[in-house]
Structure 1
Amino acid sequence: MKTQKLKFTFLVFIFSFSNLFSQYTEIINSNNPGFSESPYSVGSGVYQFESSFFLKNLSTNTPTSLDNSWGVDLAFRTSFFLERLEFDAALTFQRDRLLGNFTNAYTINSGLSKIMVGAKYLIFESTYKDKSKEIRSWKRRFAFDTKRLIPSIAVFAGVNTDFVSDVYKTNTVSPRIGILLQNELSNYFNVITNFFYDFIGTNFSEYQLTITGTYNFNDRWSWFLENQTIFQQNQTNTSFAGGLAFLFNKDLQINTSARFLREAGNNGSYITLGLSYRINRHVDSYKLLDENGNEIIDTPINRYNNKRKGFFNRIFSIFKKKNKGNKTRNRGKRKRNN
């Protein structure tokens, strides 16, 4: 009987462990090669770097307009404090070629054009049944779970800094806020939807709507399709993209994409080649549950912590004055052998 209870407790422990820390994944979860962002964090103890080299071309004859641009987007993602909370930093270095004013000459601008820092928090995580273990009914196993229509939701808040090259300075710091949604419509197909309000309070504020569909062919390959529309005060820019991602190993992903642009009445292209890598220092935590699924509070570790009166009391106890009273040492009398 005790053996059966022990086995059941172990199974409950494993189940609670996998659900409690669903933010962390065994393989890298990169936002590249698309422009959308997943609502999920990378997980605590994970330090993730995402890079993307891009080449942009526009067919335009308008003076002082962008004709050609290339550069690199860099992003850093990590989580601490909370599994649902992620901190992000992004920067862009680019080199732009602008068409001259009423001449055939070109103007070259280059430098850091973007430095943004922010954070996102997963406020709701969608749950659904795992039907892969359903063996009694073929219909139930392959029926669509309507709960998958309910997306996981995260909120984002960030700041566009002005620590950029002089040619790209706006002389202001502007907020960036957003809502991130993800629907896992099947075990292989996901849809991500992003709503962003960027450069708030400036003359070039904009709304961004990005919808991305991702399908996994197998454990290594996946492809995506994406549409992004940017609503500005005087114009609307739209892009359609497709691309591939290859999982080289659990911590390294290689990706590429091609994008058709429509900006200010001009057509263009945007090609990327990216690399995402993570340093994985994630350490799992757990709660010990009994056979009824309740957390076991009275454990030797908890009793020890309560006796020590908490973490900060243990720290401050180092600085407490010790008793300087006279100490005596009792020695037992030695018996002398005659």
Structure 2
Amino acid sequence: MDRSIIKKSFFLFLLLPSLLSAQYTDVINSNRPGRAVSAYAVGKNVVQAEVGLLYEQQDNADLNSDSNIFGTDYAFRYGLLFEQLEINVEGSFIKQTINYPDFGIEGKLTNFSRNRVGLKYLIFDPYKDPERNKPNLYSWRANNVFQWKNLIPAVSLYAGANFLFGDNPFYPGDPNLSYRGAIATQSRLSPRFVLISNVAYDRIGTDFPEWRYALSLSHAFRDPRWSVFFEGQGISGDRYSDIILRTGVARLINPNFQADIHMGSGFKSSPSRVFVVLGFSYRLDFHKDELKPIDEQRSGQNGKIGRNSNKKKSKKKRKKNRNDIDF
């Protein structure tokens, strides 16, 4: 595939995730790496899988224990009904081996640490206005530096449910069903920087609900197939609280396939956390563009075809013919 085509497609994906009212992009729109999710959906009739293989080491100073965790992160996303709506299934399945050196005891825990289904809907898109989306044809600098209007984010709402199966050792005493609500925002700060923020209230209906926050900044390199991200996540609850930092890189292999790797750690000592995740994202693209009838187009949209353009041409032609006859 022509490298220039990949570059153009990737810039379109990273910098202008929505043209007019469309969600669909020419290349894959993945939430990986990291945990912060985009405000934008994958696009109508797009099926997407995002999978990560993780290893984590935990040491608990209070319990004098150490743990090794192996697991899989997963997310399956589908653009449902229209461009702004997405249904997703996401979670983590892990196996944790815990050692207590003082007692010579080893324990194993295996189950879902996350497992939820939800809907995400874009309620505001600053790029929906075609006038705002136009580049400045007279100034390279105006198109490539930070502007205050770039802070205006796209905003989406999320509603979902958490599911537990069997006797889950990670959430003892919790009901099998709880709820989650969230807000996601996304801002294009400049042609190379994108800022995403999430605020979620999770495990609603249990005795241990949690607030979760995430702030992620992505930067595209000169070769735009490569990007790097930095993310901070906060978790606040009676069962568990921590601040987690992540950083990593993503590589666009082709328009439908992305690979990534990231690592991170927590701030607490009970437990302390260090982890690394290798991930992949792949999509099946069944999206089809929907063309607007001429009568519904705005003046100047989709070229310069207007509602009365043919009539104007006919009038001019008739007038010219009359002048020829009079002469």
How far does residue 40 in structure 1 lie from its aligned partner after superposition? 0.2
C-alpha separation in 1, matches of 2:116 and 2:240:
24
- What fraction of aligned residue pairs are identical, expressed as a percent? 31
2:322 is aligned to none
- Asked if residue 200 in structure 1 is aligned to residue 204 in structure 2, the reply is yes
- Superposition deviation, residue 159 in structure 1: 0.1
The verdict on how the C-alpha distance between 1:221 and 1:154 changes in structure 2, with shifts beyond 3 A counting, is: same
Partner of 1:277: 282
Distance in 2 (CA, whole Å) between partners of 1:66 and 1:177 is 33
Alignment deviations for residues 276-300 of structure 1 (CA, whole Å, 9 cap, x no partner):
0000111110103368358869xxx
Superposition pairs for residues 50-69 of structure 1, below 5 Å?
A: 50-63=50-63, 67-69=67-69
For the Cα contact (< 8 Å) 2:216–2:232, is it kept in 1? yes
What TM-score results when the alignment is normalised by the length of structure 2? 0.78
Tell me whether 1:259 sits opposite 2:264 in the alignment: yes
Cα deviations across residues 192-235 of structure 1 (Å, max 9, x unaligned)? 00001101121221101100000111331000001111011265
Output one character per residue of 1:2-37: Cα deviation in whole Å (capped at 9) or x when no partner: xxxxxxxxxxxxxxxx84442001000111111100
Deviation at 1:112, TM superposition (A): 3.5
Partner of 1:106: 106
- Return the alpha-carbon distance in structure 2 between the equivalents of residues 66 and 42 of structure 1: 39
Q: Which residue of 1 aligns with 2:187?
A: 183
Please identify which structure carries the higher strand content.
2
Q: Does 1:233 align with 2:238?
A: yes
1:286 aligns with 2:291: yes
Matched, 1:247 2:252: yes
2:147 alignment counterpart: 145
Q: Which has the larger radius of gyration?
A: 1
C-alpha distance in 2 between matches for 1:247 and 1:156: 27
CA distance in 1, matches of 2:156, 2:83: 13
**AA in 1 matched with 2:71:** G
Question: In 1, are the aligned partners of 2:61 and 2:271 still within 8 Å (CA)?
Answer: no
Tell me which moved more, 50-59 or 139-148. Answer: 139-148
Does the CA contact (< 8 Å) of 2:19 and 2:133 recur in 1?
Answer: no
Aligned pairs for 1:149-168 within 5 A: 149-163=151-165, 166-168=168-170
Aligned runs of 1:126-137 on 2, under 5 Å? 126-127=126-127, 128-131=132-135, 133-135=136-138, 137=139
Shift of 1:146: 2.2
Instruction: Describe the superposition over 1:92-143 as per-residue Cα deviations: whole angstroms up to 9, x where unpaired.
Output: 2210112449612110112344321001100001233443x522x4664556
Count of residues paired in the alignment? 278
Q: Verify the 8 A CA contact 2:88 2:117 in the aligned structure 1.
A: yes
CA distance in 2, matches of 1:207, 1:25: 32
My pick for the range that moved more, 286-295 or 247-256, is 286-295
1:164 and 1:280, CA in 2 relative to 1: closer, same or farther beyond 3 A? Answer: farther
Question: Contact 1:63 / 1:99 at 8 angstroms: preserved in 2?
Answer: no
- Higher mean alpha-carbon deviation, 246-255 vs 231-240, is at 231-240
Greater shift in the superposed pair: 56-65 or 282-291 = 56-65
Aligned partners of 1:65, 1:203: CA distance in 2, in Å?
A: 26
Partner of 1:216: 220
1:61, 1:99 within 8 Å by CA — same for their partners in 2? no
Q: Give the unaligned 5+ runs of structure 2.
A: 1-17, 309-327
Structure-2 separation of matches of 1:267 and 1:240: 12
Equivalent AA in structure 2 for residue 152 of structure 1? A
Which whole-Å CA distance do the structure 1 matches of 2:180 and 2:66 have between them?
Answer: 24
Distance 1:147-1:203 versus aligned 2 partners, 3 A rule: same
Aligned residue identity for 1:246: R
CA RMSD between the two structures: 2.5
- The DSSP-based 3-state class of the residue aligned with 2:219 is strand
Distance change (3 Å), C-alpha of 1:103 and 1:156: same
Counterpart CA distance in 2 for 1:220 and 1:213 is: 16
Which residue number corresponds to residue 49 of structure 1? 49
Q: C-alpha separation between the residues in 2 aligned to 1:69 and 1:62?
A: 19
Q: One-letter code of the match for 1:261?
A: G
**C-alpha contact (below 8 Å) 1:261/1:270 kept by paired residues:** no
Task: Determine helix, strand or coil for the equivalent of 2:126.
Answer: coil
- The alignment's TM-score, normalised by the length of structure 1, stands at 0.75
Q: CA deviation at 1:156?
A: 0.4
Matched residues in 1 for 2:231 and 2:140: separation? 34
Query: Match for 1:193: what amino acid?
Result: S
